[in-house]
Amino acid sequence: MPVLKIEEDTINFAYYKKDDVSFVKIYLDDLNGVSVTAHTDKSEEDVKAFLRKKKNWLDEKWKKLHLDLYTENELKENAKIAYLGRKYKLNIEETTSKDPGFTFHKGKFKFTCPHSLSKNKQEQTFTQLMENWLQKKAEEKFPQLYQGALMENDQYRLGVKTDSAIYLNWRLVKRSKQEISKVIEDLKQEKTY
């Protein structure tokens, strides 16, 4: 399966060549991600260039289908952050410490940040620390739900099944265990959406 990196995003895509196709077709499947069909004369580099041009369209289409996974969390007191199907309050604490932090304790998230950071830098730091925390939890929780389930960073699929493992979009850790298990079951049965 070809891979395209655009900035920090990874796009794994299936690439099919056909003689009877006159233009490049993109198909977006929840479980299996991006599929591209093009004429046999098109090179993989041409297809990658086309996907680069269509990145905004892919983002818009995918995120519209999965608002629960891609809704941006605002950095404000008592904002809600989704984790394993529930939403937990966020507490913000400005400190004199130089090191920002993001923790979960007693049913609440806590973001600590230095007074000296600009508002923009605080938001960037918050997003990065929150995503790192969720990715770490995805690495822990997914194998508990299914032995051999691993976390992946692909932006445009919920997961994929290979011969040796099941890979799940780390953002799924925002959904309930039952919803994650359903995605795993669908992947095992090689369903498409």
Q: Give φ, ψ of 19 to 5 degrees.
A: -75, -30
- pLDDT value of position 166: 93
The two three-digit tokens of residue 176, written as one number: 């309930």
Cβ–Cβ < 8 Å for 158, 180 = no
CA–CA gap between residue 80 and residue 86 (Å, rounded): 9
Q: How confident is the model at residue 12 (pLDDT cuts 50, 70, 90)?
A: confident
- pLDDT value of position 31: 77
Handedness of CA 138, 140, 145, 151 (dihedral sign): positive
Q: How confident is the model at residue 193 (pLDDT cuts 50, 70, 90)?
A: low
Cβ–Cβ < 8 Å for 4, 26 = no
Query: What is the average pLDDT score of the chain?
Result: 91
78 Rama sector, left if φ>0, alpha if ψ -120 to 50, beta otherwise: left
| In the chain, where the domains are located | 3-65, 74-132
- pLDDT value of position 192: 67
Exposure class string for 104-136: b at 16+ Cβ within 10 A, else e: eeeeebebbbeeebeeeebbebbeebbeebbee
CA–CA gap between residue 81 and residue 72 (Å, rounded): 10
- pLDDT value of position 72: 80
How do residues 133-153 score in pLDDT, each as one tens digit? 999 999 999 999 999 899 998
How do residues 18-75 score in pLDDT, each as one tens digit? 999 888 999 988 777 899 999 999 999 999 999 999 999 999 999 888 999 988 888 9
Handedness of CA 72, 75, 77, 82 (dihedral sign): positive
Q: What is the pTM of this model?
A: 0.87
How do residues 171-186 score in pLDDT, each as one tens digit? 999 999 999 999 999 9
